[in-house]
Amino acid sequence: MQKKSKQPNIVFIMSDDHAAHAMSCYGSRINKTPNLDRIANEGMRLDHCFCTNAICAPSRATILTGLYSHKNGVKTLGDQFDSRQTTIQKLLRENGYQTALIGKWHLGDGGHHDPADCDYWSILPGPGEYHDPVMYEYGIEKKVSGYATDIVTDLSIDWMRDRDKSKPFMLMCHHKAPHRPWDPDEKHAHMYEDIDIPEPVTFHDDYSGKAEAAKEAKMRIDRDLNHRDVKAEPPSGLSQKALKSWYYQRYIKDYLRCVASIDDNVGRILDYLDEEGIADDTIIVYTSDQGFFLGDHGWYDKRFMYEESLKMPFIIRYPRAIKPGSVTKDFALNVDFAPTFLDYAGIEIPHYMQGRSLRPVLEGNTPDDWQTSMYYRYWEHLSVEHQVGAHYGLRTHRYKLIYYYGEALGATDAVDEPRKPEWELFDLEKDPYEMNNVYHDPRYAETVESLKEELYRLKQKVGDEE
């Protein structure tokens, strides 16, 4: 093990439902995020970072444990996390780190569902509130005045300021924003008022090139957003198309206003690290628990294995080891985060963790046997209110194969209503927006066969036997 003095601090900032295509460092067409861009410019941007189950609680449990959903017990939003499991926080704390978790937790409240392995924790119960939220500090309820993104940042900076400076630390700073219902703060409430945000290229997807599961899902911009989401009555007399555009503008502007507040607050953390003189000794990460549809395919929400939802933003700065302005297209998964932090902290990675340290990738030395395919699974078959069919699948650099198996299989929150199983195959090189399912195209028959082999190999390798 490395000496303690070599152990870097780790600041892990995670937002909720922030898609990479709403960050200017990822080429956003719709907003600017100067502070997030600073992390990318001074460190590395990962272009192929994927979650293994695109929904809040499961992704969070995977990040904490380095295990897939079927191994850590949180397959759906209805499964509460058993925090007696070994987590990244516990391992770091046992090895001399001070640890804190501040903000969104969303893995259950009370008893062994609370964060257990932190020197300090203060969480938003359940999904949390944007304005004047209740927080549970060591489980004690407190009402805090202000806006959640500011509060979570204030508490994070206060904690770093008051820490024992003779030890390294790991801070998990977890924002509620920009999760539904997208309530901005006063400061950003009038951004974008006089402009129209561009609509995504797949805005009018009619799902004719997708599985029935895509048609059945209830997350359409023009049909499924409610009054609480858009905070206004739609004008009367609009055509169907104009009404869809109206809903999109209402939704996306509030979403981006919430993102603007995150960006400001990430800037405050960066400034704090500079003022404190610890920026060089601190790994800082910005990510989100999964991606999100920003009107893509006519949708909001996530869950599907399609790119916008599968892809996590992941930018990381560590001046001692990561080259500024670097970019990688190598695969990284949320299951890899915990092993990565342990590696940098010089702590042995437990053999049962299912991910692999990203350290060589981050430092520009990707091993020859690095992963070129990934396994994904969404379990909440047809759960209210979005009704996305359960599926598993494989993504390689070129292809994506998805199997909607059409059963609840007893998963929490899943609805026991069978559907006819169906497959999708997308050729991401020819069809990056996933508009044309080529599973039944005879020209892809051999590709399908070899991808299925790889899918079942990975499924077995990660121990998913259902």
The least CB distance from residue 302 to Ca ion, in Å, is 7
**Region binding Ca ion by CB under 5 A among candidate stretches 42-50, 109-117, 256-264, 284-292:** 284-292
The answer for residues whose C-beta is within 8 angstroms of residue 319's C-beta and 6 or more apart is 42, 43, 279, 280
Window contacting Ca ion (CB under 5 A); options: 25-33, 56-64, 73-81, 347-355: 56-64
Asked whether the beta carbons of 191 and 260 are under 8 A apart, the reply is yes
Which residues contact residue 369 at a Cβ distance below 8 angstroms, ignoring those fewer than 6 apart? none
Binding status of residue 254 toward Ca ion by CB under 5 A: no
Nearer to Ca ion, 289 or 336 (CB): 289
Is 56 one of the binding residues for Ca ion (CB under 5 A)?
Answer: yes
Shortest reach from residue 289's CB to Ca ion, in Å: 4
Q: How far is the CB of 89 from Ca ion (least distance, A)?
A: 20
Between residues 315 and 425, which has the closer beta carbon with respect to Ca ion? 315
Least spacing, CB of residue 55 vs Ca ion, in Å:
7
Q: What is the DSSP string of 244-313?
A: HHHHHHHHHHHHHHHHHHHHHHHHHHHHHHHHHT-GGGEEEEEEESS---SSGGGB----SSSHHHHBPP
The dihedral region occupied by 353, where left means phi > 0, alpha psi between -120 and 50, and beta the remainder, is beta
By CB under 5 A, which span of 78-86, 266-274, 281-289, 445-453 interacts with Ca ion?
281-289
Q: Which residues lie closer than 8 Å to 216 by C-beta, 6 or more apart?
A: 382, 387, 389, 419
Q: How far is the CB of 287 from Ca ion (least distance, A)?
A: 11
Q: What is the per-residue DSSP string for 131-147?
A: BS-EEEETTEEEE--SB
CB closer to Ca ion out of 55 and 211? 55
Q: Which of 37, 263, 289, 407 binds Ca ion (CB under 5 A)?
A: 289
Our finding on whether 117 is near Ca ion (CB under 5 A) is no
Q: Which of residues 175 and 244 has its CB atom nearest to Ca ion in the complex?
A: 175
Say which amino acid occupies 455: L
Question: Of 33 and 334, which has the nearer Cβ to Ca ion?
Answer: 334
426's CB contacts (< 8 A; 6+ apart) are: 399, 400, 434, 436, 437, 438
Smallest separation (angstroms) from Ca ion to the CB of 56: 4
Binding mask 7-36 for Ca ion (x = CB under 5 A): ---------xx-------------------
106 vs 381, beta carbon nearer Ca ion:
106
Please report how many Cα atoms fall inside a 13 Å half-sphere around the Cα of residue 303, on the Cβ side: 25
CB of 465 to Ca ion, least distance (A): 27
Q: Cβ-closest residue to Ca ion?
A: 56
Stretch that binds Ca ion, among 33-41, 114-122, 288-296, 323-331 (CB under 5 A): 288-296
Nearer to Ca ion, 289 or 330 (CB): 289
Q: Write the interaction track for Ca ion spanning residues 435-464; mark x where CB under 5 A is met and - where it is not.
A: ------------------------------
Minimum CB distance to Ca ion smaller for 128 or for 389: 128
Shortest gap between Cβ of 378 and Ca ion (angstroms)?
13
DSSP secondary structure letters along 50-110: E-SS-SHHHHHHHHHHS--HHHHT--STTSPP-TTS--HHHHHHHTT-EEEEEEE--S--S
**Residue 349 beta carbon to Ca ion: minimum distance, rounded to whole angstroms:** 26
Asked if 290 and 276 touch (Cβ cutoff 8 Å), the reply is no
Phi, psi for residue 142 in degrees, rounded to 5 = -140, 140
| Distance (Å, whole) CA 304 – CA 219 | 11
Cβ 252 vs Cβ 294: under 8 Å: yes
Q: How far are the Cα atoms of 11, 216, 303, 318, 424 from residue 212, in angstroms, in the given order?
A: 42, 6, 15, 45, 10
Q: How far is the CB of 128 from Ca ion (least distance, A)?
A: 12
CB of 172 to Ca ion, least distance (A): 15
301 binds Ca ion (CB under 5 A): no
Applying CB under 5 A, the span of 51-59, 195-203, 271-279, 415-423 interacting with Ca ion comes to 51-59
Burial class for 292, CB neighbours closer than 10 Å (0-12, 13-18, 19+): buried
Closest CA to 24 of 11, 14, 34: 34
380 binds Ca ion (CB under 5 A): no
Shortest spacing between CB 201 and Ca ion, in angstroms: 24
Q: Measuring CA to CA, how many Å separate 166 from each of 12, 88, 158, 169, 281? A: 20, 21, 17, 10, 13
Query: How many residues sit in the footprint of Ca ion (CB under 5 A)?
Result: 4
Residues at the contact surface with Ca ion, assessed by CB under 5 A: 16-17, 56, 289
